[in-house]
């Protein structure tokens, strides 16, 4: 399952993600991971969620790198049940809808295979999303 939360800056996406992460920590039997660039969520997310700041790792910003990073996370911990990605365009350094849609499709297939759920925020207007993204709302 892949779910996208999309809205312009200041629309409440981060607050919504914080609530969802904290809820997942209480409800899910496995590990909850939250990937972000920077440390915006550090003091708001419960300590039992694994917070990962991708800027601490020497990786190039791209959809391919992020997918590889997620695969590496899962290969090191098969108990992951939910991954939250805060601000996809910021993490990848690209606000290309076609590439984002292809990335979401790959995540969806990965989710079907592994059972890991994904919730992703994208900072852009909902009306700007093409079909490859909007089908995950």
Q: Is the pLDDT of residue 128 over 90?
A: no
pLDDT tens digits, residue range 70-102?
Answer: 999 999 999 999 999 999 999 999 999 999 999
Q: Is the pLDDT of residue 43 over 90?
A: no
Residue 59 or 118, more confident:
118
- pTM (two decimals): 0.96
pLDDT attached to residue 42: 87
Give the mean pLDDT of the chain.
Answer: 96
Strands (E), the chain: 2-7, 31-36, 50-53, 80-85, 117-123
Q: Is the pLDDT of residue 68 over 90?
A: yes
pLDDT attached to residue 40: 85
pLDDT attached to residue 26: 96
The structural domains of the chain, ordered by start, are: 2-134 (3.40.50.300)
> What's the CA gap between 81 and 111, in Å, rounded?
10
Backbone φ and ψ of 119, nearest 5°:
-125, 125
């Amino acid at each position: 399952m892949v779910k996208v939360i999309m809205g312009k800056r200041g629309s409440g996406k981060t607050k919504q993600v914080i609530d969802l992460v904290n809820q997942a920590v209480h409800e899910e039997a496995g590990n909850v991971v939250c990937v972000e660039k920077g440390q915006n969520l550090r003091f708001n997310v419960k300590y039992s969620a694994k917070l990962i700041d991708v800027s601490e790792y020497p990786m190039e910003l791209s959809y391919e790198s992020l997918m590889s990073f997620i695969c590496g996370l899962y290969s090191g911990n098969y108990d992951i049940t939910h991954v939250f990605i805060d601000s996809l365009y910021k993490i990848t350094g690209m606000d290309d809808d076609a590439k984002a849609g292809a990335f979401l499709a790959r995540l969806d297939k990965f989710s079907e295979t592994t059972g890991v759920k994904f919730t992703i925020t994208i900072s852009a207007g909902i009306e700007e999303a093409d079909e490859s993204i909007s089908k995950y709302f």
